[in-house]
Structure 1
Amino acid sequence: MKTILLCIDTDVERANEQVKSVTELPLETEQVRIVLYHVFRADDENADAENLKSVSEAIERLEEAGFTVEVAQSSGNAVRNILDQAAELDADVISLAGRKRSPTGKALFGSVTQDVILKSNRTVLLSTAE
């Protein structure tokens, strides 16, 4: 079985692009496990990723496509948590949603996507919303 760690934020449009990028791959859905993963910025014991619209819509669309979907969450440093979660799951693929930023914006604000790509030894599937 293949495992895809689909790292999802709160942006519904980006989440939809990620789901589309996965569902368009030539995969045997019964052989793929998808873990939707959200990293909250702050530690809030009442936070529940399944209450996020981006997550609930992604679950619905992925299940409609025939995938088995699990939800996981954490809080804190997104890059470290994504890499740790990928290692814990032994994920075959990390799916990320990129944001269109200028080179200056990337330099000033950093990029979780860029850091995960550079620090991971796993395949990274990058989706960007139009």
Structure 2
Amino acid sequence: MKTVLLCIDTDVKRAREQVASLTTLPLEADQVRVVVYHVFRADDKGVSAKNLKSVQEATERLEAADFTIEVDQSSGDAVQNILDKAAEIDADVLSLAGRKRSPTGKALFGSVTQDVILKSNRPVLLSTTE
């Protein structure tokens, strides 16, 4: 069985596009486990990723495509948490969403997606939105 770490932020449109990028691949859904993962910036006590509209959208679409789904969450440093979670579950691929930004925007604001791509030793499936 293959394991995909689907890293979801709070944007529903990006969540839809991430799921679409995964469900259009030539995969046998019953042979793929998808861990839908959200990293909260602050302490995640008392909150649930399952209540985020983006996570709900992703899980509903993945379940409709017959994928095995788990939802998990953490809080703190998104890049490190994503890399740690990928190692913990021995992810075969990481799915990330990116936004199109100018080079200046990337330099000023940084990018979790960019940092994960550069620091991970695992394949990354990237979907981008405007």
Residue equivalent to 2:112: 112
Find the residue that maps to 2:35 and give its secondary structure.
strand
Whole-angstrom CA distance in 2 between matches of 1:36 and 1:18: 11
TM-score of the pair, normalised by structure 1 = 0.98
Percent identity for Structure 1 against Structure 2 = 78
1:23 is aligned to 23
SS at match of 1:79: helix
Measure, in 2, the Cα distance between the counterparts of 1:96 and 1:54.
13
> Which residue does 1:83 correspond to in 2?
83
Once residues 68 and 21 of structure 2 are traced to their aligned partners in structure 1, the CA distance between those partners, rounded to angstroms, is: 16
Aligned residues, how many?
130
Deviation at 1:44, TM superposition (A): 3.2
CA RMSD of aligned residues (A): 0.6
SS at match of 2:91: coil
SS state at 1:86 partner: helix
Structure 1 gaps, min length 5: none
2:123 matched residue in structure 1: 123
Report deviation, 1:129.
2.0
CA distance in 2: counterparts of 1:12 and 1:56, whole angstroms: 9
Find runs of 4+ consecutive structure 1 residues off by over 2 angstroms.
Answer: none
Q: Residues 7-60 of structure 1, C-alpha deviation per residue, up to 9 Å, x if partnerless?
A: 000000000000000000000111000000000000031110000000001111
In structure 2, list runs of 5 or more residues that go unmatched. none
CA distance in 2, matches of 1:53, 1:34: 17
The aligned counterpart of 2:74 is 74
Report the TM-score when normalising by structure 2: 0.98
User: Secondary structure of the residue that 2:126 maps to in structure 1?
Assistant: strand
